[in-house]
Structure 1
Amino acid sequence: MSNRPTSINDDGSTVWACLKVVDYLKPLIENPLGQEQLLEKVDTVERHIAPFASKADFKRWMSSKSGGVRVSVLGVTGYEKEGNRIIGDIRFVAHVYAADKWGYQKDIRAEIISSAVARALMKNKATPEAYSKPMQVSNKNLYSGSIDELGVACWAVEWTQKWYVDVPVDETTLDEFITFGLTGELEYGEPTIEGEVKLPQ
């Protein structure tokens, strides 16, 4: 049984744009199950709900993967109308995370992969469904001691791009609502409780 709603209000949604970015990056950056020893590729490229905000986020989404790219929408900085269409200036972030693999250190892999993502966005044919080319592309090292302890290195590629934001979402492309994570603190200074709940299907 699917936990998707029977209908979805997709007016003005940025979900479609984010999914199209993922579709564009997959064949360029993704190397499922490590089929080839390619330094500049990762196990999976996926849409993500929000920027990584904590060590628990990295631990949860890294899982058993040796590397990945998760694309999120940070927000829309402005809307405009063109005829009967709506265009939004969308700010995206692609979090690139990597672990040691094939004799390469995690920091080297993450830095090279994030550069590959940035180069992909700068191609002339990048994200063909978009209203404009990516603009203000930047790349940032998110190193911290707590993330390093997980055996992960992370970079964030950010950019702004104009997209139509009134395109219907294909519900079959949305993730199933199968699990949700929980992080809580019973009292200030006490250990954090973390868990993951699997929903009945």
Structure 2
Amino acid sequence: MSFFKLQGLSDEEARDRIYLVDSQGLIYDGRGPMAEHKKYFSRKDYNGPPMKDLTDIVEYVQPTALLGLSTMKGAFNQSVIQTMAALNPRPIIFPLSNPVRLSECEFHEAVEWSQGRVLFASGSPFPEQEYNGRVLYPGQGNNMYIFPGLGLGAILARVTKVTDSMVEASSEPVFGSGEGGIAKRGD
């Protein structure tokens, strides 16, 4: 949600852009009783029949990104990734569960099923893949990369607590012009 709020959206506008899915499917108010921690992201704008199949949910929501935090191996199957690729020129697939045996998909699957167009980051390391004569490198976005830098910054600044705004600030790219960007390998 912080990303959207940094873009100037209100809490409600940011929350409206996030769809939460659990082992029972899309989380929405009409689904019935749910755990307290799921209520914040429960959809109020959907009242249809239960949506349990992730491909159906992707077709309904038409997201630009899928973040996997489920530890459900294979949750991002061929149908899900092909649907994402049909909806997006660069589908964002982030199977963040680790270790590899619990990852929602593997890099070679995401590459193959998206015809090499996937923007991929995982919670576990995967080897690079060759696709159509190009070598593609998976990103890795797990806590091994986040916490050491954030921890060192907290130590150097001698802070007593790390706030949400500190985490948000640490996620912003730093370039001389103040503009964001993505560094290429070798930059």
Same fold (TM over 0.5): no
The structure whose RCO (Cα within 8 Å, separation 6+) is larger is 1
Question: What is the TM-score when the length of structure 1 is the normalising length?
Answer: 0.24
Structure (1/2) with the larger strand percentage: 1
Question: What is the TM-score when the length of structure 2 is the normalising length?
Answer: 0.26
